[in-house]
Structure 1
């Protein structure tokens, strides 16, 4: 009879946490493809800086071109698809090697780590850094995703640390 050991539970918890991140990515992708216009509108307002309290000194940063808005939005969508696919593959790889040796299981983490890094790029670098610091998104009353993005990073970054830890025996 197989018993659930702490070591086995740690491995399963890593698979489950990656499944959570993958599920979130799938929902984001579905939303972007089924309601393109609402998220495009968000991106356009942030890039245009038309709802911020930005001073005239930084309004030169605003991007008013709808063509560039669409291209940046498609870049974001591409990155979201990329992180979701990498996380799905990573989840599968972790599950596939759940009973493997510690070294093999540790090597199976590669796709999970890559997926989480892409997600951190989107939600930390693109939204929290560029959106807030360059486009002054945090001063917008209606198009501000700073806190939403922070909550995502607050979840996925510790998961990445946990996934990468080599505690399995």
Structure 2
């Protein structure tokens, strides 16, 4: 039973690592699609731009590119930490050090939760009011990813009996 639980945890982290890798790949290969998301969210051009919040909008393409680059970089770090976690856990699967080998995976999952929760729900959704946009609202996808990562993090952090 313990081997099945350990294998389950390794496979779930591998799933997160693969997902994050695919996100990075898509952001690099199809750069304009999600760059447009960053641009529209930061300019607040699809939120109705009410006068009270218009001062928050950012119209500088350099800042858009820097922000998008940071998002891709963070997604890359998440993928790398989770892949490294998969390797560490796999190597220690049959040892008593398995619980301690989860460190990198836990960091990757935590960073993923922070990225998708803070960037997509907090900054995008609340600061730039993306919740008001019908076309560039990343709150639901951000919530789904952050929630899945959190559930996996909670499961992973439990010590095997």
TM-score by length of 2: 0.97
Superposition misfits of 4+ residues, deviation over 3 angstroms: none
Query: What's the CA shift string for 1:119-138, capped at 9, x where partnerless?
Result: 11110011111111100011
Q: Give the unaligned 5+ runs of structure 1.
A: 1-5
- 1:155 equivalent in structure 2: 148
- 2:61 equivalent in structure 1: 66
Say yes or no: does 1:141 pair with 2:134. yes
- State the superposition RMSD in angstroms: 0.9
Question: Equivalents in 2 of 1:112, 1:46: separation in Å?
Answer: 30
Question: Equivalents in 2 of 1:114, 1:8: separation in Å?
Answer: 23
Say yes or no: does 1:30 pair with 2:25. yes
Q: Give the unaligned 5+ runs of structure 2.
A: none
Query: What's the CA shift string for 1:54-97, capped at 9, x where partnerless?
Result: 42101111111000000000010100000000000011111111
- 1:165 equivalent in structure 2: 158
Which entry has the higher C-alpha Rg, 1 or 2? 1
Question: Paired residue for 1:95, among 90, 97, 122?
Answer: 90
Number of residue pairs aligned between Structure 1 and Structure 2 = 161
Displacement of 1:39 in angstroms is: 0.9
Name the SS of the counterpart of 2:149 in structure 1. helix
TM-score by length of 1: 0.93
